[in-house]
Each structure stands twice: as structure tokens, then as C-alpha cells.
Amino acid sequence: MINWNSPTPPTAPFIASIFNYYLSDDLDGYEEYDILTIDLVKTMPGYLGYESMKHNGRGTFISYWKDMEAVQNWAQHPIHIEAKKRGAAWYKYYHSMIAEVHRFHSHSL
């Protein structure tokens, strides 16, 4: 389920930043940075929401953004840069992708 930043989901097009990973055994500082970056990203202009899934050390984190400028501003934020540096110890493997969402619809009961 997506945790949107506002009660009304955005209309397409918008940007999805997709991060897939396997955690390592060295997670020193990981939880603190996870909380710090989630709290901080919510304050960034152009941030729309996120969803996150973790199971047995494997995870996916998708953040949604108004446009590429907003994604680039987040990528250049000092806390995000520091988290990426520390990621070399936290992840056995990861890859990231940026995609444009051309269509979005959802259903919930």
C-alpha cells in the first residue's frame, strides 16, 4: 500500500524511484538512517509518497515524485548522500531505477 503525502493520490504522469536490495549482516546505523531519511523525505518539495516491502533481508523501496527536478534535489540532499555512502556496508546487493508513471489507478475497500 502506498503511503501518499496527501489524502488525494497524484494524477499521472509522475516519477517512481525504485530501490531493490539485499541487506548485509552489518546494519550498524541502518535503522536510525532509515527513520531519518523517511522523516526527511516527507518534507522535500515534490515528494508524493512511498511504499516499502521487506522480507528475509530482501526489500523494495519505491518513492514517488512530482518530477525529475524533485528526484534530483533529493539525490543531492546531504543526508541522502551520507546514507548512500553508508549503503556500501548495509547492502550485499542493490540496484535502483527511475521510471515515469504514465498511468495510475487504484482500488481499496
pLDDT digits (tens, 9 = 90+) for 29-76: 999 999 999 999 999 999 999 999 999 999 999 999 999 999 999 999
Q: What CATH fold (topology level) applies to the domain 3-101? A: Alpha-Beta Plaits (3.30.70)
pTM above 0.75, yes or no: yes
- Strands 47-55 and 14-23 come out as unpaired
Q: What is the pLDDT of residues 1-37, one digit of tens each?
A: 899 999 889 999 999 999 999 999 999 999 999 999 9
Whether omega before 78 lies within 30 degrees of 0, making that bond cis, reads no
pLDDT tier for residue 108 given thresholds of 50, 70 and 90: confident
* Strand residues in the chain grouped as ranges (E): 3-4, 14-23, 47-55, 58-65, 91-101
pLDDT at 101: 97
DSSP state of 12: S
For residue 12, give the nearest of 38, 48, 44, 43 by alpha carbon.
48
